[in-house]
């Protein structure tokens, strides 16, 4: 059975742009069919309705919706329409979504709240296309090496596997914090693990400054510096994540977990060894 996964994207968070490719990194999987519907930077309820409609037309076995702050009306509407259409739905969003978690549970949807997926410094004096792109690139590095991305795709994969077995998928209900992230990082050196835990916390705290700079401070010289400082923090977190990965290279222990054609996850540690299925000799 080919499992149909529909991704609905309202606005942007760091977890969103590469999400569908995390599931099928070499375009070789035969067990899934993916469709993505997005509304760009906008995330109003009218966008939510249209995205839901297109996704439902696709008749997905599983829906994954991404947005900032899933407590807002747009993301709320989107998941209500999808769960209303009996589609198993996973909400992936950032820290402010915590307050919506009970309501998401009530809908029967799953959620993965990514604490390190900090809000960008969205002030006109600072954020232009280049700055937006660099922030996302740094954030992606952090989310990758800290283990957050592994957590995301492995939970989606689990749901896919349940569906393939015609079981009701168990949808994740998790706030990914520093320790949960690191447990998925696959890092073997304990100092590499502490470095990515540090990177995670720095990334998470970026949001303190961007929230202050975007919503609480009115003087433009002050908020410009605040959001700029926040982006420096994210750059630093990315640098630390990179340092951790280089440590693993130095010991030739980078965990690689490529997908096999049938969706199975293979695993290997040494660069010059063949990946194996778990349990394979």
Residue 7 or 111: which CB sits closer to a second copy? 7
- Least Å distance, CB 82 to a second copy, is 17
Residue 103 or 208: which CB sits closer to a second copy? 208
- Least Å distance, CB 165 to a second copy, is 22
- Least Å distance, CB 164 to a second copy, is 17
CB 32 within 8 Å of CB 23: yes
Radius of gyration of the chain (CA): 19
Give the span between the Cα atoms of 200 and 178, in whole angstroms: 6
Residue 105 or 125: which CB sits closer to a second copy? 125
- Least Å distance, CB 115 to a second copy, is 12
- CB atoms < 10 A from the CB of 252, how many? 11
CB 10 within 8 Å of CB 75: yes
Alpha helix stretches (DSSP H) within 108-189: 129-145, 148-164, 178-183
Residue 107 or 122: which CB sits closer to a second copy? 122
Residue 103 or 201: which CB sits closer to a second copy? 201
- For every residue of 200-244, DSSP letters joined together read HHHHHHHHHHHHIIIII---HHHHHHHHHHHHHHHHHHHHHHHHH
Residue 105 or 216: which CB sits closer to a second copy? 216
Give the span between the Cα atoms of 103 and 276, in whole angstroms: 41
Kindly list the distances between the CA atom of residue 80 and the CA atoms of 84, 98, 113, 185, 270, in Å, as whole numbers in the listed order: 6, 17, 18, 32, 45
- Least Å distance, CB 92 to a second copy, is 15
- Least Å distance, CB 7 to a second copy, is 8
CB 189 within 8 Å of CB 251: yes
């Amino acid at each position: 059975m080919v499992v149909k996964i529909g991704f609905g994207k309202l606005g942007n968070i760091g977890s969103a742009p590469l999400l569908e490719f995390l599931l099928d990194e070499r375009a070789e999987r035969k067990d899934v069919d993916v469709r993505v519907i997005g509304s760009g930077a906008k995330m109003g309820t009218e966008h939510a309705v249209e995205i839901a409609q297109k996704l439902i037309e696709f008749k997905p076995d599983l829906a994954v919706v991404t947005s900032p702050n899933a407590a807002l009306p747009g993301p709320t509407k989107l998941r209500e329409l999808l769960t209303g259409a009996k589609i198993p739905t996973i909400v992936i969003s950032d820290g402010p979504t915590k307050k919506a978690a009970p309501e998401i549970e009530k809908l029967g949807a799953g959620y993965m709240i990514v604490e390190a997926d900090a809000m960008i410094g969205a002030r006109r004096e600072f954020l232009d296309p280049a700055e937006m792109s660099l922030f996302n690139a740094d954030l992606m590095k952090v989310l990758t090496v800290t283990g957050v991305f592994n957590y995301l795709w492995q939970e989606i994969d689990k749901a896919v596997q349940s569906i393939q077995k015609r079981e009701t998928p168990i949808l994740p209900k998790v706030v990914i914090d520093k320790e949960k992230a690191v447990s998925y990082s696959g890092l073997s050196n304990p100092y590499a693990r502490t470095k990515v835990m540090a990177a995670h916390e720095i990334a998470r705290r970026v949001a303190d400054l961007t929230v202050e700079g975007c919503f609480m401070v009115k003087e433009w010289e002050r908020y410009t510096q605040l959001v700029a400082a926040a982006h420096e923090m994210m750059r630093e977190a990315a640098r630390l994540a990179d340092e951790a990965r280089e440590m693993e290279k130095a010991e030739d222990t980078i965990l690689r977990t490529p997908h096999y054609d049938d969706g199975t996850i293979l695993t290997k540690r040494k660069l010059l060894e063949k990946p194996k299925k778990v349990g394979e000799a």
